[in-house]
Amino acid sequence: MSLYSKILSVPLTLVPRKIINQQNDVTIVQKGIEKKIKKLFGGSLAIREVDTGSTNACEQELMALTNTYYDIERFGIHFVASPRHADMLMVTGPVSRNMAEALKKTYEATPDPKIVVAVGDDAIDGGIFKGSYAVLDGVHNVIPVNFQIPGDPPSAMTILSSLLYILNIIDDKSDQKKQ
């Protein structure tokens, strides 16, 4: 399969684009995230980002969330160095054979309940690297994935809107368990 047909055949999954496009005002999204984080996590959401062989495009978008425009830390979101401190794992890139064991160990070290998010088309199903001898394709082939954020790479605003969408789903599920 040629590179171009691989690029054009990558499916989009889970976080619907229409939801992302509706929430394009950064202030509204940030306020919604802040409210959900206070309710669900007591004010602080710790995220461990794991690069399993990406092109660094998704990492650049994740790091853009910490710049002065988005400034997610003031809303209680922090990137942490240890999976033992994490509430959520955000995994980028197709899982290279060399990173599969490290990803499993990171997943096991993350305390329950674990929230695993595949960020970008490469993490979802391998993206343009799908079927290569060097990768195991998507993250779901190595560890369980709860949510997927499509894009190659997804923009910082897409990630932020998707995070609000994810937190709303988690909140709805926790409300259902209380009933």
Task: Render pLDDT for 40-79 as a digit per residue (tens, 0 to 9).
Answer: 888 899 999 999 998 999 999 999 999 988 889 998 999 9
Q: pLDDT for 17-33, tens place per residue?
A: 565 555 557 888 888 89
Q: What is the pLDDT of residue 178?
A: 65
Domain assignment present for 27: no
Q: pLDDT for 129-158, tens place per residue?
A: 988 999 998 999 999 999 999 998 999 999
Q: Which domain holds residue 115?
A: 3-14+41-174
Domain assignment present for 25: no
pTM listed for this prediction: 0.83
Question: How is the beta sheet containing 88-92 ordered, strand by strand?
Answer: 77-79, 45-51, 88-92, 115-119, 147-149
Would you tell me how many other CB atoms lie within 10 Å of the CB of residue 9?
11
CATH number of the domain enclosing 109: 3.40.50.12280
Q: Give me the mean pLDDT over the 67-92 stretch.
A: 93
Domain assignment present for 85: yes
Domain assignment present for 32: no
Q: pLDDT for 41-50, tens place per residue?
A: 888 999 999 9
| Nearest alpha-carbon partner for 117 in 160, 57, 60 | 160
Domain assignment present for 20: no
Domain assignment present for 30: no
Q: What is the pLDDT of residue 170?
A: 87
Domain assignment present for 84: yes
* Structural domain count, the chain: 1
Domain assignment present for 22: no
Question: In the predicted model, is pLDDT for residue 83 greater than 90?
Answer: yes
Burial class (CB in 10 A: 0-12, 13-18, 19+), 76: middle
Question: Would you say 99 and 53 are in contact if contact means Cβ atoms under 8 Å apart?
Answer: yes
Paired tokens of 19: 């939801």
